[in-house]
Amino acid sequence: MKALAGMEVDRPPFWIMRQAGRYLPEYRAVRATTRDFVSFCLDSEKACAVTLQPIERFGMDAAILFSDILIVPHGLGQDVRFVEGEGPRLAPVTNGAELAALTMDRFHEKVGPVYETVRLLAKRLPGDVALIGFAGAPWTVATYMVAGQGTSEQKPARLWAYRDPTGFETLIDLVTTATIEYLAAQVEAGAEVLQIFDTWAGSLPEDEMERWVFRPIARIRAALKARFPHVPVIGFAKGIGPALPLLAPATGVEAVGIDPTVPLGFVRDQVQPTAVVQGNLDPLLVVSGGKAMHDRIETILRTLGPDRFIFNLGHGVVPETPPEHVAALAKQIRDWHR
């Protein structure tokens, strides 16, 4: 929280995206007790338990609520499933009629267990560990809602946006409204920070990025600021490279997530003056581990730390990661000082 407020810190805080996940045997053990992934995300006791696992094992400075970005379309009434080894499958929304079937009517009831998970975490987390709530950004969530799955370039949503921008905007507006209510309820339940995941932001040219990435995130940021002025927001817009210096000024987020491909000098000179930055170790360096991982961590810490910086990976930790490598990463950061 101090780093996000721009205050001086002894060392940068750290957490890692997807820190509760399949690389941990204790996660797989709990996961194996519920077959369906959406039901697993909506089981507050289990979601709370797996959220705490990486904190107990590695001592991260923040816990991120365990859930998924596709819980929002589920709350809007879309059929959402996860197929083992393949990924998400949704009943695609491709036109105004299919869109009209989605509604906020029973939203809070359907996603309510997520708020209960946050309440349990707020009670059970050690006081010095920050609790991060999250949602997908409207653009990224919409790409899955329209395609019904992950696709190579998320073409279906991009094509709808070009062919019928007004119709597509109705979808983006609905998801934006739902996301504001969803994040506000997480704050009311005890989330201290929020992260917005825009994994597919980098698939868009300039004008579309402004309209479908910056504008909806700005609307979310402004609505939350009006209700909870003290709660900072981290924007993670993957793959937008040269547009990163625009993200915080255009949306009002306090912190900007950095993916592994962005040069550190660019982040320090062009992005850090606009926002606190978070990132950006390549997740595959944590799979390989050893000296190459430690050298890169040192370079990142020296270039971006210690203030206005949160150490993280540049994208989610992958299932083949040896947990010992995460332990070595955690030790290196905890032992580091200015």
Q: What residues numbered 151-190 form the site for ligand CP3, per CB under 6 A?
A: none
Residue labelled with tokens 């040269």:
242
Token pair recorded at residue 267: 């982040």
Provide the residue type at 143 as one letter. T
Taking the least distance from each CB to ligand CP3, the nearer of 18 and 221 is 18
- How far is it, in rounded angstroms, from Cα 108 to Cα 180? 12
Residue 31 annotated among the catalytic residues of the structure: yes
Q: Name the residue number minimizing CB distance to ligand CP3.
A: 199
Residue 124 annotated among the catalytic residues of the structure: no
Residue 115 annotated among the catalytic residues of the structure: no
78-98 burial string, b = 16+ CB within 10 Å, else e? Answer: bebebeeeeebbbebbbeeee
Beta strand 276-281 pairing with 193-198: unpaired
**Cβ 268 vs Cβ 303: under 8 Å:** yes
Token pair recorded at residue 11: 């060392």
For 313, the enclosing helix (H) or strand (E) is strand 309-313
Q: Which of 88, 156, 232, 305 binds ligand CP3 (CB under 6 A)?
A: 88
Residue 68 annotated among the catalytic residues of the structure: yes
75 binds ligand CP3 (CB under 6 A): no
Q: Which of 139, 197, 214, 309 binds ligand CP3 (CB under 6 A)?
A: 197
66 binds ligand CP3 (CB under 6 A): yes
Catalytic residue among 61, 68, 198, 259: 68
Residue 23 annotated among the catalytic residues of the structure: no
Is the omega angle on the peptide bond into residue 205 within 30 degrees of 0, that is, cis? no
Least CB distance to ligand CP3 at residue 32 (A): 10
Least CB distance to ligand CP3 at residue 137 (A): 9
Q: Which residues bind ligand CP3 (CB under 6 A)?
A: 17-22, 31, 37, 64, 66, 68-70, 82, 87-88, 134, 136, 150, 197, 199, 316
Q: Which residues are catalytic?
A: 18, 22, 31, 68, 144
